[in-house]
Amino acid sequence: MFSKVLIANRGEIAVRVIRALDELGVASVAVYSELDRDALHVARAGESYLLGGAAAAESYLNVERILDVARRSGAQAIHPGYGFLAENAAFARACEAAGIVFIGPPASAIEAMGSKTRARELMRDAGVPIVPGTVEPVETLADAQRIAADEIGYPVAVKAAGGGGGKGFRVALAPAELKDAFEGAAREGEKFFSDATVYLERYLPDPRHVEVQVLADKHGTVVHLGERDCSIQRRHQKLIEESPAPMVDDELRERIGKIATDAAEAVGYHGAGTIEGLLQDGEYFFLEMNTRVQVEHCVTEATTGVDIVREQILIADGEKLSFSQDDVRLHGHAIECRINAEDASRNFAPAPGTIAHYREPSGPGVRVDSGVISGTEITPLYDPMVAKLIVWDADRERATRRMLRALAEYEIEGVKTLIPFHEAIMASEQWAAGETCRDLIEDKAWLKELAFEKVETGGEDEPELEERTYTVEVSGKRFEVVVHGEAIAAAPAGANGARPAPRRERSSGGGGGGGGDTLASPLQGNVFKVLVEQGADVEEGALICIIEAMKMENEITAHKAGTVSELAVQEGGSVTTGDTIAVITSPASE
């Protein structure tokens, strides 16, 4: 067994890998950027090395520096986690060339699955059902128009070949929409993957995202660990995952399990991997393969009892899988909620800031995988996912109640998170019925109700009112008293026993928005597109502009209805957190 392993990642997944290494008796080596000096993964590892500046290119994507640290520290293997270098075939090869084991699949499998057209062709040839469409790139708009009309039919999906995870994914419901979809997908492919190649698929109107976890060793054994349903997504970011999938029975599980192991065998896979697919009306179609451990692997760990990260390390070390397909048994139901520093009520705007108070839930059937502690700063430079809350119970209904209990126990102050969103979804009829909840996630009015409590003030001159919760005891009985009053400047949490009620972050916290008429930027980035003109009348929630940050497009919407009396951004410009984007005045305040 390796004696020392380097983790080329940060946050919760780095901590997750360190835990597996600890249990195996393997020393861990962390790497970090200048922004992460005080990060949990650094403190948690056996030894830690600075990579470079905050930007990922200088730190977690800096191949030379990472390999140099591996050599200096004597690490024999590198675990890439997810994101960053996890699906970078050149990195896997560079590790090999340096005599270091890459804890992941062969570079050839990463490469084959990295090109979505190549993957579709390979899967089709292996007898794996793919979404009907092209396996060759579609070169021109004219070709796309012909193929969509004659071979696929509308609606049609246009996807970037270098893509994945929904990046470079556009839909044309009718021929008139194909030009925009084709050009949009190509542009995004070029931007994200330096590859403008696109292909076409039939667009399935209301599928479920169902994926199968596989494990393959280097001796030809491939098993699957059942499926996960990840249909609750926002802008192709998964928010909630569960296992087993509500719509998959034993027969279907066996069928899609076979599809997944066939797919893995067809690319000579080893390690942990996921076959992503769409399930519609009992039909299952291969979408893409993720050649890494995924964020949501924990729900599978809960239902199978298999430690997927430990298996990755054992497989990389050349061990045979210690169990067969028949040994894999599913028990109960697991749900994962991603705890992102985002404000669902503001169109899921990033909500960076410093965690002032932090306390995780625990108790039966609860697991928290987190990369943060009290005092951790959530920066817009890295992933907004700060933790994952996973629960397990005997069935879906009980797991849901357990999730609600655990969410209520979770205390995070100083940054806004998706906790209120998860509480609302878990309490919804749609979730109870096993629906995909797309109607809720796309319902602006519903999301708006998740707004973090803030007492509205009349005009800008009035002092800002704030809600504070005090605990009082009357004749020995505890009461929580909510007081509405003027904000107390910089009152430390806990002073005089006055601490805000758990979780409900109040007025401040970097969520943006500014006061009154001012719409402030919640994040730093470049203004990609401006969708209104000065003087325009807008509805609340109207799209004002799109700010690109870390290659993500963030939609900034009007915080109130009114007239755009001032527009402070222009396309191509840049903004930092707190900058005024626009001033929206309502008729009454003019």
233 part of the interface to ligand MV4, by CB under 6 A: yes
How would you class 241 by CB atoms within 10 Å of its CB: exposed for 0-12, middle for 13-18, buried for 19 or more?
buried
**What is the Cα–Cα distance from 147 to 142, expressed in whole angstroms?**
9
147 part of the interface to ligand MV4, by CB under 6 A: no
Q: How many residues bind ligand MV4 (CB under 6 A)?
A: 17
Q: Which residue in the set 12, 36, 87, 201 belongs to the binding site for ligand MV4 (CB under 6 A)?
A: 201
Q: For the chain, what is the largest distance between any 2 Cα atoms, rounded to a whole number of angstroms? A: 80
Compute the least distance from the CB of residue 437 to ligand MV4, in Å: 10
436 part of the interface to ligand MV4, by CB under 6 A: yes
**Only segment of 27-35, 164-172, 349-357, 402-410 that touches ligand MV4 (CB under 6 A):** 164-172
Q: Are 187 and 160 in contact (CB under 8 A)?
A: no
List, in order, residues 6 or more apart from 339 with CB less than 8 Å away.
370, 385, 386, 387, 388, 389, 410, 412, 417, 418, 419, 422
Candidates 49, 34, 40; CA nearest to 4 is 49
Got the DSSP string for 456-515?
A: --SSSSSPPEEEEEEEEEETTEEEEEEEEEEPPTTPPTTGGGB-PPSS---S-SS----S
Compute the least distance from the CB of residue 444 to ligand MV4, in Å: 17
Compute the least distance from the CB of residue 277 to ligand MV4, in Å: 10
Q: Are 263 and 276 in contact (CB under 8 A)?
A: no
Instruction: Kindly state the tokens that stand for 107.
Output: 């570079």
Compute the least distance from the CB of residue 181 to ligand MV4, in Å: 12
Q: Are 156 and 203 in contact (CB under 8 A)?
A: yes
338 part of the interface to ligand MV4, by CB under 6 A: no
157 part of the interface to ligand MV4, by CB under 6 A: yes
**What is the Cα–Cα distance from 243 to 211, expressed in whole angstroms?**
10
Compute the least distance from the CB of residue 123 to ligand MV4, in Å: 14
Compute the least distance from the CB of residue 207 to ligand MV4, in Å: 5
Q: Are 251 and 314 in contact (CB under 8 A)?
A: no
Q: How far is CA 141 from CA 133, 151, 153, 186, in A?
A: 15, 15, 15, 11
Q: Are 391 and 588 in contact (CB under 8 A)?
A: no
Compare residues 166 and 578 and give the one whose CB is closer to ligand MV4: 166
Q: Which residue in the set 16, 41, 209, 338 belongs to the binding site for ligand MV4 (CB under 6 A)?
A: 209
Compute the least distance from the CB of residue 446 to ligand MV4, in Å: 17
203 part of the interface to ligand MV4, by CB under 6 A: yes
**Only segment of 172-180, 196-204, 372-380, 401-409 that touches ligand MV4 (CB under 6 A):** 196-204
Instruction: Kindly state the tokens that stand for 117.
Output: 């057209």
Q: Measured between alpha carbons, how far apart are the two ends of the chain, in Å? A: 72
Alpha carbon 119 to its chain's center:
23
Give me the 243-282 binding string for ligand MV4, x by CB under 6 A, dash otherwise.
-----------------------------------x----
332 part of the interface to ligand MV4, by CB under 6 A: no
Compare residues 129 and 166 and give the one whose CB is closer to ligand MV4: 166
131 part of the interface to ligand MV4, by CB under 6 A: yes
Compute the least distance from the CB of residue 203 to ligand MV4, in Å: 4
208 part of the interface to ligand MV4, by CB under 6 A: yes
55 phi and psi angles, rounded to 5 deg: -60, 140
Compare residues 207 and 522 and give the one whose CB is closer to ligand MV4: 207
Compare residues 230 and 315 and give the one whose CB is closer to ligand MV4: 230
Q: Which of residues 72-101 bind ligand MV4 (CB under 6 A)?
A: none
Residues forming contacts to ligand MV4 in the complex (CB under 6 A) are 131, 157, 165-166, 169, 201-204, 207-209, 231, 233, 236, 278, 436
